[in-house]
Structure 1
Amino acid sequence: MYFNKVEICGVNTSELKVLKESEKTELLRRVKQGDKAARDALINGNLRLVLSVIQRFAGRGENLDDLFQIGCIGLIKSIDNFDVTQDVKFSTYAVPMIIGEIRRYLRDNNSVRVSRSLRDTAYKAMQVKEDLQNELNREPDIEEIAERMGIPKSQVVLALESIVEPVSLFEPVYSDGGDTIFVMDQVSDRVTDTDWMDEILFKESLEKLSEREKMILNLRFLQGKTQMEVAEEIGISQAQVSRLEKGAVQKIKENG
């Protein structure tokens, strides 16, 4: 199986062909006979269907071009797996396939999705850090960066952590065969060992949460979504979100 790469940048959607049901049926019949030209025509004739599906994922900070590409993969899978003997419209079959493909992509590639505003804050913090380093001739700490930016220290930490791969505090960075230096030893900040241990205990308490509870806390407190938005995204009621959120917070308090 091959996947056609389709670009949407600069595409005038009004010029995209829309197939009649009779045309889809005929093309699907030819696809089952191995007609590659019919397959291409069916793909191109359903691009507007993909565009309509990805609109429901707009406003989440995702690249729509990427989502369109993934949606097209779902479309192609729909074409290849559609049973022409069933009395079902192609679009009725294809839409859930396209949505499912996009959701799998978001789940697999964005287990902790970072909002655009958080990324912007991180990049600004990196620039401020570089400016301060040039001014002070040393590595600035988080408090100095936060003060220069005029935002809370916690916001700077959250933003910077959002754009890097997680690294264990106990990961060795140097060893001469004797004493080993860990990441924890190299961090420049005005915190004590007790603060580090509190942080470690907090992260350990998160491990006691279910995947759904982790997702809800991530969406609510890292991405700033409302309970209604979270409910819509994961497919449960707002009341359930509220109950799960309170339960997760209580677990953290009990294990903290």
Structure 2
Amino acid sequence: MQSDNVIDLVLRAKSGDEQAKNTLVQQNQPLIKSLLRRYLGKGVEYDDLYQLGCLGFVKAINKFDPQYQVKFTTYATPLIIGEIKRFLRDDGAVKVSRSVKTLYVKIKKYLLLKSGDIEPPTLDEIATACGVTKEEVIFAMEASHLPLPLYAGNTNDDSDEALCLADKIVASDDSAYLDHLMIKNMLARLPVRERQVILLRYFRNATQSEVARRLHLSQVQVSRIEQKVLQGMKAYMLAGEDAI
């Protein structure tokens, strides 16, 4: 049976008492550390695993109800494991850099901290809190959901300027940045060949010539497919899902 002190700390933490939350985290460090040990050696730094474990633990605090008739640590355990496993699953598909992994954890920590606010934080607020640009925030957030990073740069055949898929579709204002999150759905709806072209061009940094060689197409065909998809995706974002 858990002590009344634990219940009191959980209730205070749920109501926004940072000291109570920190006390719970400190008291349960042995639990968090014991659970993350099984995931060592899987390509994620110990500190990142610990931060993910803490995120899962804080989620448990926010969701726990004393009426569940279960010990708080018993309730928290699957949430801690789930947070780590979800990151490992997504990271395994993404293969992003160490810096992006670290930023992803930092963003999740900030979003969890602000989860009790009436209004969710804006991209500007997240970027400011994490000390990065809005593009970097979106890159890190999308990296956990797409097979490859959405905002990876790409070099045009005729220029040294970096291209960004989202920049090719819509203008760079705040509403457009939010619309960028629709790109995952658009890619899933494309025919296989068109999706391959876009993934190679904008996610693998391949030139049109390289794409043509890999897919056994002419460079002209690659260019036409690319322009067709970009126009369709732009229409999708402007008119809704039925545009593609």
Q: TM-score, normalized by length of structure 1? A: 0.37
Q: TM-score, normalized by length of structure 2? A: 0.39
- Greater fraction of residues in helix: 2
The structure whose Rg is larger is 1
